[in-house]
A and B are shown apart, each in its own frame.
Chain A
Amino acid sequence: MKLQVSHSPHVRDKATTQSIMRDVVIALLPATFAGWYYFGIRAVLITLVSVVSCVGFEYLCRRVMKRNNTISDLSAVVTGLLLAMNLPVSLPLYMVVVGAAFAIVVVKQMFGGIGNNFVNPAIAARIFLVICFPKAMTSWVVRAGAWYSLKSVDAVSSATPLTQFQGADAPSMWDLFIGNTAGCIGEVCILALLIGAAYLFVRHVIQPWIPLAYLGTFLIVVFFFGKANVFHFSGNLATLDGWQVLFHECCYMLLSGGLVLGAFFMATDYVTSPLTVKGKLLFGLGCGILTFLIRYYSNMAEGVSFSILLMNILTPHIDDWTMGKPFGEVKENVKA
């Protein structure tokens, strides 16, 4: 009789890396579909190119590096999908491929593949593209003509809600919520993003700490230090108008740009976020403050991406700082 010998435990949970990644893909689908709906068939094309090239680069990389094939864990699909959601619909396709190559080859595989990338590949790729092709990455379009139109170049160039915040033609709050506005493919429809996020919570794929801390911090900072902050309106707050302007700014800041996408789907990336609850809260806090600073005081519109990227880099240190005491550990006596 040949008996298998292995270390305990001899039973394992059903969840695998692949099942987690599959859940993330499922959670990203509503927002992706919404993006396709608002931006037309070219958005579909961009998504497909991004996903296929991410998976392709992953496969090639592993082949060239003579390592085992890892495309079946679906992490490259997640990266591809996230990257596509972070791109404007008018971006030339070759740029999408460049972005995918940067995400998978440089950020992920060169650092050791899944689990070893020090920043989120999709965010790094987005920032890489913004730096390389600033014009293409910041020309926003609203859907022009029929949904099947592949042309994007002639489309109406539009500002994102973030930049037109104070303008008279700013979209309504409802439009922002359902996604009827300019922006990246996946970031516009907040409703769809929230549905996806709810799915992740229900499936226990992510914990609420990072999004809560991120959005909470950001709101608080905007409330106190935004353009229409409490101090600014100190005289006016007695009137309903003052509160209304303040409330409007808070909601506007929350719903526009990539904040919701970033807080729920990018900041919560396992590999590049802290392990403990305390660490996650700290991570979210940092993201919130950085996003505010970049959005209000920088001339780039990449608040969410940069803040998550910077906090990704800090993650190992946050993990070190927030390492808790083991169960039952009492405070060590300070040595005299």
Chain B
Amino acid sequence: MPLRSIHAFAGGVHPLGNKNTDVLPSIHLHGFSEVELLMQQHIGPPCTCVVRPGDHVDVGTLVGKAEKPMSVPIHSSISGTVKEVHYVVSANGAPVEAVRIESDFKHTINPFCRPPKVESFEDFVQMIRDSGLVGLGGAAFPTYIKVNPPKNKMPDTLIVNAAECEPYITADYRQICEHPDDIIDGILCVMKWLEIPKTIIGVEDNKPLVTRIFSHEIKKRVYKTGKHPDIEVKTLKTIYPQGAEKMLIYTLTGRKVPPGKLPIDVHTLVMNVSTLRFIGLYLKEGIPLTRKRMTLDGSALNTPGNFIVPIGARIQDIIEAAGGTREEPKKIIMGGAMMGVALDRIDHGIIKANNAILVFGSEETTLPPESPCIRCGRCVASCPMDLIPCGIDKASRLRDPEMLEKYHVMDCIECGCCTYACPSKRYLTQSIKNGKVMVRAERARIKKEQELLASSEQKGGNTPS
């Protein structure tokens, strides 16, 4: 019997689930004529490109070498020839080095890809880094950093994020349905090397099948090994943003991650099911992260569903390969409907953390005009971080960094609940994000001023006015 968690965070909203694709088995998409691999697909410094135009690469060949800390290597997702190494504008607007590889349609796998031998904790961390794994839930945080916490902050609980609270997305759900054994392998591996005694899998209560699959899989392990792994499946209330890290930790363990801190500060390790499934798979096959399962949905698509695509495949090619559109798309979103980025062009190659492409037709695309805030308080009631979004919005539009800090703008997790709930249709999340930029600039300015002041005092010169 799965346990129900007792804690509940304040706030949250209930957008329509729209999990239209949850019964559709994932389909492998092949035959992409070229891919474009960005050299930065994680939070951290970009990789150094180690291939040159004309080089031949196989699936799994190292393309981007991770030289700096926090950086994760990037591997070729198809076999073929490197055509071009150039700078492109990524989906979030920053210039990034990219490698264009033309396919030879042979799909040969790099012969050096072998199941890794892990004999020590150091091996384990190195294996995770070499596999090119980042957090696949969407944040793209380097996993090898996550599994290598400072010694005084070892986690005592592994939390498996199977909440998938974003509307439309069912990629994790399909992952669980299709490969529960790999996920459990991944969990056991992480538990073993990090010496974590306890694992909790958090599943929203609108996915009862997932709970059953996991319970069944755990029973199978007990039968096979005679040992009961300490893995517990807990049912969560279906509410957005249940899958947000801080909310998930609180609902499952009652621990609150302080602002500006990481889950590891409360001795918790949170990993997405897809991340763990990849660890399980990598242990078996040894092929680095080159493919990604993603949900394609939206009214403009002919055949919505879940597809496994090579990383770097261009969005337009993916949409075409997945069945094409039945009407002119009005809006294309990379990611979920609540936090995804609306794209202005669709020749971007997908990156490791992408888990959905939503192709909205005219019926789903809305751009409601803003009206004045009526202070109804729905944004306040919906904010999972207990902030006052309408106050931040006001401060942001007044361009007042001091007032923004007073409203704790930097604690916002940009989940979009406030904007979803706002009856005046105000673009609160956008304005809050602008506010964050202002606060950062102001903090930098103050810091610089103080440094200047300090240095001029040292020199004994006049204080700058």
Contacts and interface: CB of A to CB of B under 8 A. Distances in A.
Interface string B156-200: 000000000001000000000000000000000000000000000
A327 B16 CA distance: 25
Contact of B256 (A115, A271, A328): A328
A269 to B, nearest CB: 9
B99 interface: no
A5 B342 contact: yes
Contact of A9 (B328, B338, B378, B408): B338
Interface residues of B, number: 71
A16 B423 contact: yes
B354 to A, nearest CB: 14
A9 B425 contact: no
Contact of A8 (B341, B365, B386, B422): B341
Contact of B372 (A5, A114, A207, A327): A114
Interface stretch (A33-41, A55-63, A318-326): A318-326
Contacts of A169: none
Contact of B331 (A10, A13, A114, A276): A10
B374 A115 contact: yes
B49 interface: no
A159 to B, nearest CB: 38
Most central of B375, B388, B416, B429 by chain A CB within 10 Å: B375
Contacts, number: 162
Contacts of B343: 3, 5
Given A3-B332, A270-B376, A330-B258, A8 B342 contact: yes
Which bucket holds chain A's interface residue count?
Answer: 35 or more
Interface string A1-16: 1011111111111011
Given A17-B371, A116-B372, A329 B258 contact: yes
B167 A11 contact: yes
Contacts of A236: none
Contact of B385 (A1, A15, A112, A327): A327
Contacts of B246: 327-328
B294 interface: no
Contacts of B338: 8-11
Given A7-B427, A20-B423, A327-B246, A115 B375 contact: yes
B326 to A, nearest CB: 14
A327 B422 CA distance: 21
Given A9-B419, A9-B420, A275-B388, A20 B376 contact: yes
B333 interface: yes
A73 interface: yes
A4 B367 contact: yes
Contact of B374 (A8, A271, A323): A271
A1 B387 CA distance: 39
Nearest to A10: B337
A203 to B, nearest CB: 12
B249 to A, nearest CB: 10
A30 interface: no
A70 B370 CA distance: 12
Given A17-B371, A326-B259, A328-B257, A3 B329 contact: yes
18 contacts: A3-B332, A4-B342, A7-B342, A9-B337, A9-B338, A9-B416, A10-B342, A10-B364, A11-B364, A11-B420, A15-B423, A17-B371, A17-B424, A115-B375, A327-B256, A327-B385, A328-B256, A328-B258
Interface of B: 9-10, 13, 15-16, 167, 246, 250, 256-259, 261, 328-333, 335, 337-346, 358, 360, 364-368, 371-378, 380-381, 384-388, 390-391, 406-408, 411, 414, 416, 419-425, 427, 429-430, 433
Given A5-B344, A10-B342, 11 more contacts: A1-B329, A3-B344, A8-B339, A13-B15, A15-B423, A17-B371, A20-B374, A112-B372, A115-B373, A326-B386, A328-B257
